[in-house]
Structure 1
Amino acid sequence: MTRDDADAPSSPTGAEPWLRAAGTGTADAPLVLVLGATGYIGGRLVPRLITAGYRVRVLTRSRRRVEGQPWARDVEIVEGDATDDDSIARAMVGVDVVHYLIHSMSAARDYGRIDRGIALSVARHAATENVGRLIYLSGLHPDGVELSAHLASRKEVGDILLASSTPTLVLQAGVVIGAGSASFEMVRHLTEVLPFMPAPRWVMNRIQPIAVRDVLHYLLAATRLDDATNRAFDIGGPDVMRYADMMNRYAAIAGLPRRRILPLPVLTPGLASHWVGLVTPVPRRIARPLVESLLHSCVVKNRDIDQVIAPPPEGLTGYEEAVRWALGRLELDAVETSWQDASVRGAPSDPLPSDPDWAGRPVFTDERHRDTNASTRAVWAVVEQIGGATGWYSASALWAARGLMDRLAGGVGLRRGRRTLRHLRVGDAIDLWRVERVEPGTLLLLRAEMRVPGRAWLELAVEPSEEGCTYRQRAVFFPRGLTGRLYWLAMLPFHGLVFAGMVNRIVALAEREDFREM
């Protein structure tokens, strides 16, 4: 049985006759309202609900934002604001299940008051509409201590919903591991940027992270519950560790040296959030609540959830496996086929277009293009001869120096040349590069095999136009750690000479008479 077999409703011949093919819920299928559909969890949950056969309604302040999602045509869109009671009332009509996945911490300083009002409105209208179940994703927290404003607000929302007349399931999760998760992105960027990190004492607190795929497992299974269970449950992955250990395990998987972390008693949450905002792209308004929520150890107190929702058949995802998913380090064919059907593409840990701009691994690019009246065949003829005896069409001395540096560092250098003068195929070596993809007349993608602190590609593309064609060139670099970032910055002065020169020379050669005749 695959994970989605466990998460999907039963077959048409079972207890739920409303289910047809995946993503084609019938008129009598349960209607699920998702509050926070364009958020990190919501954006991954909605297509899985559709695939499972549910009818899905979403409430959004901007219809356009939802219409940009690949699943937009498969949901009912209600435009309105969750802080507006009338909007909640309209969205709740005829609903069977509500997924409450919103939290206002990034929108305003008084997010506690805002979320309290939303929770009261949801509870009231759920009772009016006889909603069958409320499902709220909250934060894992210890008992008997003063909670941070962030966790206290999330607990208050859960308490309000549990006190309502509608059966409510509150799932309390800790650090969610997946590309785009704010907590994971904070770990990612801190670890990659800082080989040595002065940190607050909370880095020695114990935490229990959970993979985003397992969070979705519980949310999907909760959608199917038809009893009157009304309580909060802790959910977490199989690994309990210190925050510092979580960073160093990430470093090992990402191919980085072990990070030295020095706990400092004087680093307050405010100062720590400033530090996080300075060295990572996570906005301070989000970093501070996350930092404050780490002031206490947060581990699962019990596994009572197993009596209501069974763990995934293959078991909960370990931290290191979850990080590998988030970094794309697992083979694509290892992903369950149920994650890649017509409605759900890619693993839940993959980044989505709806994720915040600061989410995901850092990537540096140098993009250039130039229009020409030369034919696509002429430009391609120049592109296809690049490297080897032909050279790289610009700054030959710089290319030679780069090749020498690579040889001295134990790399391949420029000696390899290329297999033939004109024709390329996937797998061919071209000096410091390897042909990773070639579409004759259109695209050449080269992967760097030189010694660099990261991974690099060079993309050369030709696009036809009304007056000839456009030559496009893009260098892409995924840095590894702080060294990778510094390497890219050090190379910036040379990019203007090397890459601009390549664009100009390639187009100039293509416009010559001998190439025009090709």
Structure 2
Amino acid sequence: MSPRPFDHVVGKNLTSVKFPVVAGLPGPEGLKTHLRGHLLRMSNVGALRVLVTGATGYIGGRLVPRLLEAGHQVRVLVRDPAKIRSVPWADGVEIARGDLTDAASLREPFRDIDVVYYLVHSMNSDGDFEEAERRSAENVASAARDAAVGRIVYLGGLHEHSDRLSTHLRSRTQVGEILIDSGVPTMVLQAGVVIGAGSASFEMIRHLTNRLPVMTTPRWVNNHIQPIAVGDVLHYLAAAATAATSESRTYDIGGPDVLRYGEMMQIYAEVAGLARRRILVLPVLTPKLAGMWIGLVTPVPLSIGRALIESLSTDAVAYEHDIDAIIAAPSGGLTPYRDAVALALRNAENTEAGWDGAAADPLPTDPAWTGEIVYTESRDAVVRADPQRVWEALLHWSSRHGHWTVENKQEPTLLELHGPGRARLQWRIESVTPARTRLHQHASYIPKGLPGQLYWLGLKPLHRIGLRRAMQSVIKESEGRR
């Protein structure tokens, strides 16, 4: 079993442990007394009591199930509890209402907590978001001190050690510094581009590469990036709860590959089966203009695209590997970038996100703009026939259209067909009365690159006519009409 936080301290004379002097606290001796009770409590409890902020976000929504699987008692802090009650693991966690910008709302949720995960970061540049981020970090630091929390774990961003940081990277760095200086033992894990379906950084790579066989980019396309698979990020985050260290500091985490951003797009194209992309570097294209351009040609929101672009204006690589001394790499090693992309794309043809997939798969809580572009066409009708008659007519229709192959058949309620490319046609049969049946038709098409998008958009009227005729054909045969 992995050691719990501060196992190397429990049982020792706490006078030998050095604590920082923090404004507003009773000083080192008071801190030692404050923490002693926490250490004794943790030494007698097998499962840690964990508070997760940002549980509805990309990382938080994937981390909570891992913490539960590890046997921890999980409490999630959300502004709107209704958003969390529909997730499958909601019954396994305690839901607390609170807002990081409201210090008073944090007192009760932080009570009796061993480890706090700080997974909140705004990608919105509206207003003075830096001030809001700073205030939130100070509130968390204060609440954690007052509640004798044993550890804070924060996910920050890889960055250069320079004054050229973007506004968002500077803000994330400042949050980490506030937490480190809080007097509560803090681990700040700094990751670069996270690769997985639903990750904003990955979605920008996906949409740019899918849509643009030729693209103009700023000079940052030649900057060095150390991407990391989302599964590996979750591995480090989950293990941080029990890591045997009392240091408050940053730890760089990254995958095994260091690539130029342009290389990352080319590798994505190879994995996705697309032709090699032509990338034209324009030195005069500023990050602000590039962010606006991304907002026009991709579904990535303008504010997020601009924040991501600005963060790419400097290298994002690991400058140290000290994490290896306290947390072992995932079983099988860190995931290469090419494999991480393949994992993110493996369920691309599944147009409905679910909760039972891997870390790299999409979740229902991911933003609507993430994931593959999917064109859909749906219709339904009530047929004057029993379900069995409709089922037989449906099978007859599919046998006469050889370009559709049966992928899933559940007599007499469901028929799923796979068509050319990444086209799917689903038929569902629902009994209304013994002599009436509701027939649902749902077609979906995932385009492959720009040619696939142009194909669908150019032939959309013909697709609609063909699907409507298919529906009418099944209805007529079911009702015995010609």
Distance 1:108 1:59 in 2: 24
Equivalent residue in structure 2 for 1:385, among 374, 396, 404: 396
Query: Residue deviations 1:374-419, cap 9 Å, x none?
Result: 111111121011155xx4xxxxxxxxxxxxxxxxxxxxxxxxxxxx
Paired position in structure 2 for 1:272: 290
Deviation at 1:29, TM superposition (A): 2.6
Paired position in structure 2 for 1:224: 242
Paired position in structure 2 for 1:455: 422
Q: Give yes or no for contact 1:34–1:56 (8 Å, CA) kept in 2.
A: yes
Query: Residue deviations 1:87-144, cap 9 Å, x none?
Result: 2222111111000000122374322111100100111111111100000000000012
Deviation at 1:34, TM superposition (A): 0.3
How many residue pairs match? The answer is 440
Matched, 1:494 2:465: no
Distance 1:347 1:497 in 2: 38
Query: Residue deviations 1:180-208, cap 9 Å, x none?
Result: 00000000000000000001110011100
Deviation at 1:352, TM superposition (A): 0.4
Paired position in structure 2 for 1:431: 402
Q: Give yes or no for contact 2:144–2:184 (8 Å, CA) kept in 1.
A: yes
Matched, 1:472 2:440: yes
Q: Give yes or no for contact 2:245–2:326 (8 Å, CA) kept in 1.
A: no
Paired position in structure 1 for 2:480: 512
Paired position in structure 2 for 1:353: 364
Corresponding letter in the other structure for 1:465: V
When residues 374 and 222 of structure 1 are mapped into structure 2, their CA distance, relative to the original with a 3 A threshold, is same
Corresponding letter in the other structure for 2:376: T
Distance 2:410 2:3 in 1: 40
Structure 1 residue ranges, 4+ long, deviating more than 6 angstroms after superposition = 6-10
Alignment of 1:101-500 (within 5 A): 101-106=119-124, 108-328=126-346, 345-387=356-398, 391=400, 430-448=401-419, 450=420, 454-466=421-433, 468-500=436-468
Distance 1:488 1:345 in 2: 31
Distance 2:402 2:470 in 1: 16
227-236 or 505-514, which moves further after superposition?
505-514
Corresponding letter in the other structure for 2:381: R
Deviation at 1:346, TM superposition (A): 2.0
RMSD of aligned Cα (Å): 2.3
Q: Give yes or no for contact 2:52–2:119 (8 Å, CA) kept in 1.
A: yes
Corresponding letter in the other structure for 1:115: E
Deviation at 1:345, TM superposition (A): 2.9
When residues 9 and 463 of structure 1 are mapped into structure 2, their CA distance, relative to the original with a 3 A threshold, is farther
Query: Residue deviations 1:339-376, cap 9 Å, x none?
Result: xxxx9832100100111111111111111111123111
When residues 108 and 84 of structure 1 are mapped into structure 2, their CA distance, relative to the original with a 3 A threshold, is farther
TM-score, scaled relative to structure 2? 0.87
Distance 1:191 1:157 in 2: 33
Q: Give yes or no for contact 1:208–1:237 (8 Å, CA) kept in 2.
A: yes
Corresponding letter in the other structure for 1:211: A
Distance 1:34 1:496 in 2: 46
Paired position in structure 1 for 2:98: 80
Deviation at 1:433, TM superposition (A): 2.2
Q: Secondary structure at the match of 1:490?
A: helix
Query: Residue deviations 1:257-295, cap 9 Å, x none?
Result: 000000101111111011111111110111111100000
Q: Give yes or no for contact 1:447–1:458 (8 Å, CA) kept in 2.
A: yes
Corresponding letter in the other structure for 2:406: V
Q: Give yes or no for contact 1:168–1:229 (8 Å, CA) kept in 2.
A: yes
Q: Secondary structure at the match of 2:99?
A: coil
Gaps of 5+ in 2: 11-43
Distance 2:78 2:470 in 1: 46
Deviation at 1:8, TM superposition (A): 11
Deviation at 1:513, TM superposition (A): 7.5
Distance 2:317 2:456 in 1: 40
Paired position in structure 1 for 2:33: none
Percent identical among aligned pairs is 49
TM-score, scaled relative to structure 1? 0.81
Q: Give yes or no for contact 1:178–1:322 (8 Å, CA) kept in 2.
A: yes
Deviation at 1:246, TM superposition (A): 0.1
Paired position in structure 1 for 2:48: 30
Q: Give yes or no for contact 2:164–2:314 (8 Å, CA) kept in 1.
A: no
Distance 1:315 1:27 in 2: 31
Corresponding letter in the other structure for 1:159: E
Distance 1:107 1:170 in 2: 23
Q: Secondary structure at the match of 1:371?
A: strand
Q: Secondary structure at the match of 1:479?
A: coil
